[in-house]
Structure 1
Amino acid sequence: MYEPSDEELKPWLLLNLVPGLGPRLTKALIEKFITPDEELKPWLLLNLVPGLGPRLTKALIEKFITPEAVICASVQELSAIPHLGFTTATKLYDSFKKYNPDQELASMRLHGVKALLLNKPDYPESLKTIWDPPSVLYLKGEILPGDGKAVAIVGSRSCTEYGKKMAKRLAKGLAMAGYTIVSGLARGIDGEAHRGALEAGGRTIAVLAGGLSKIYPPEHAGLSLEIIKAGAIVSEAALMEKRTAGLWKQGVEP
């Protein structure tokens, strides 16, 4: 069970004692003065909770303003979120006490992983425009502004040799024309798309369905290192989270 230390709690308690210092002003002060790791921890904690996907996270932040306030909310306050209900609110409340963002942060350092937050300027602009962008995006490598000019190439894992050849050729041509190739690092079409971009000396980004601490499929571990040098591998999944059938978590959503 994760329990904040007395030293961690003291500054938050002090802010809460100041008359007139409401959630919005507290948020502005935190964004200005808090250290990057301390700012990241509450977002990591929200991301660690099973079933707490982008849409529900957004609803909670809209209600409570800061992730710290979400984590400190009572079951009654959480259950006031539309479509959430008392049972789910209780599960969320218990989960906030169970998971430890310090462990996730330590794992990120161990594996050389960064985290991009939805409310920060370095978060990919094109990703912000989708229906339910993840609040935390884990990253190895670098995403550049020019990567907004991108083409996704994905396909079957058990494809034909002709399919592999055409995927690689298409990716290579697009990369030579200045497009970033986005795919999923899977066997078959995805892997060939990444290889085509790399052969062209272009940029490529792999979007993984599981945590970045373990590359899947394992035979693409070497390919992932090449991709990191020429782009990035990214995931919304917590670092140790197993891969899922779909890219975006569904879980408990309103």
Structure 2
Amino acid sequence: MAVDDKTPFLQLPLPHAQNNSNEDVERLRNAYLMLDAFAEALSIAVAGKAAQNHQHEMDTIIGLIDALADKAAKDHQHTLESLTDTDVAGATNGHFLKRVGTKWQPGTVQPGDVPSFEEAINARLPLTGGNLTGSLMAIDRLVAQATANGNAHVWLRNSVGKNRGLVYWDRNSGAVSLRVYADDGNGNDVAVGSLVLHADGTLSFNNNTVWHAGHKATAAQFRAGTTNTVLTSDGVWAAAGYVGLSGAAGSTLAAGTYAPNFGAGLNFHNVVAGNITIG
């Protein structure tokens, strides 16, 4: 019996040394027939394939034209209105897109739209009220402006917030006042002193007029009698000095001697406290 040796892939019969020639001749014939059938099948299969460098027309590819018909052109552009999750019918200049529910809609940015924005703003000093700790430097000027129906105030307080001083402008009188406050013993802040610069330029302290060098009486004012000027020692001396005699048109004063002309009469009177004296 012949040894049935075969190729590993196609299982074609192979000659064997132990086989007789007549046995291997038949086996080789079968191998050739099997190779012919394999070559025929391979040729048929290759004939149905395209060349390696072949090209296809788009319409020869089954389903490609229909698939591309639902696709946008490469240079197409979308408008916001064409998007399914937008509603921008009411958009105007300056609007932003905000997500509201399931739609992007036009709107303005609110403080709550920005994460941590409100917390950051609240940490800053407000325009009205609030407390500023530490020093405040105002370059050029610091202004306290009155309201339409109020006065302008700058309060000075101690470390526990009690009023101890006030600088304010009174809209009715136009005066600028500096007040000092103290505790009345019952926890109430009361004014204990006030220095006022009035709109007419006068100055008063605790409702008393403050007199200054501008109120100094001259000799003539002192002799005439005045109640709104200040008497000084030089004013007193000048008031007590020489006074020309009325009606003495011919009187002369030479070398310390007064030579009066009594043609118009003689009239003596004192100008300081004391008795009338002729000497």
Q: Same fold (TM over 0.5)?
A: no
More helix by proportion, 1 or 2?
A: 1
More strand by proportion, 1 or 2?
A: 2
Does 1 or 2 have the higher relative contact order (CA < 8 Å, sep 6+)?
1
Q: Give the TM-score taking structure 2 as reference length.
A: 0.17
Q: Give the TM-score taking structure 1 as reference length.
A: 0.18
